[in-house]
Amino acid sequence: MRKEEDFVVCRCENVYYSELIEIMEDGASNSRELKLKSRAGMGFCNSRTCGPLLESMTDDKNNDSPHYVHLKSQPPIRTISLLNLARGNNND
């Protein structure tokens, strides 16, 4: 059962703060491990909302070592041809 002070960190994947803490207590040491084990940051927004919190929880925000890869976030877009764009046809 969730405590009253618990909150949703990742709205896309419905991941709670308490779940992330449990994963960290089980040995996750960086934000990429948190993301892979909890699915936080794998939803529609691609970690634009929860990514900064994941990195600050594990102190990865300032990690500049060459072997560490920071979480990437990218806009949820899809490609469309210029011809379809000019016609206004996006096949939704």
The confidence score (pLDDT) of residue 87 equals 82
Q: Which residue has the higher pLDDT, 14 or 62?
A: 14
**Residue 92 counted as domain residue:** no
Number of domains in the chain: 1
The confidence score (pLDDT) of residue 68 equals 56
Taking the C-alpha atoms of residue 14 and residue 22, their distance in angstroms, rounded to an integer, is 15
- Residue with token string 């379809």: 84
Residue 1 has pLDDT above 50, yes or no: no
Handedness of CA 31, 59, 10, 45 (dihedral sign): negative
**Residue 62 counted as domain residue:** yes
**pLDDT tens by residue, 22-69:** 999 998 888 888 888 999 988 888 888 888 888 888 876 665 665 555
**Residue 1 counted as domain residue:** no
67 CB contacts (<8 Å, ≥6 apart)? none
- Residue with token string 């909150």: 7
**Residue 2 counted as domain residue:** no
Domain around 59: 8-87
* CATH number of domain containing 14: 1.10.10.1100
User: Distance between terminal CA atoms of the chain?
Assistant: 41
